[in-house]
A = this chain, B = another copy of it.
Amino acid sequence: MSGFAPRFDGYAAKVRESFSRQALMTTFGAEMRNIAPGRCVIAAPVTGAVTQQHGVAHAGLTFALGDSAAGYAALTLMDEAAEVLTVEMKINLLAPATGPALVATGEVVRAGRRLVVVRAEVTGETGPVALLQGTMIPV
């Protein structure tokens, strides 16, 4: 998960600009905390607007944060003109997702020419709450 090189200097600005256009992330109050080649960290508060029936964060929030962090980790390694789409994603839920915030760290595992394999971990106040593994595609 190290040694990845971006293909152009402005990768971080491009990723942040794309993130700013993800309305769902804005709806969730999410912020991009860190961006580096092959790695991205996104955090969002666990508010009363995103819970499930037991009062903890809905798996949909956990998934959305992990998926976005993984996708933007992949985008850091793509060509300047490329955008990124999720092909598929698997999530294992490890523990109840309690706040005050969830932090998703996405990482590139393998950056192929046609596909990028990614992972993400989402943590809450008590530690890891979910692991994701999936595939991104440049478009």
Contacts and interface: CB of A to CB of B under 8 A. Distances in A.
Is chain A's binding surface mostly helix, strand, loop or mixed?
mixed
Contacts of A95: 110
Contacts of A89: 59, 63, 90-91
A50 B27 contact: yes
Nearest to A90: B90
B22 A87 contact: no
Given A22-B58, A137-B115, A88 B92 contact: yes
A48 B30 CA distance: 16
B92 A117 contact: yes
Interface in A45-100: 48-54, 58-61, 63-65, 67-68, 83, 85-95
A74 to B, nearest CB: 13
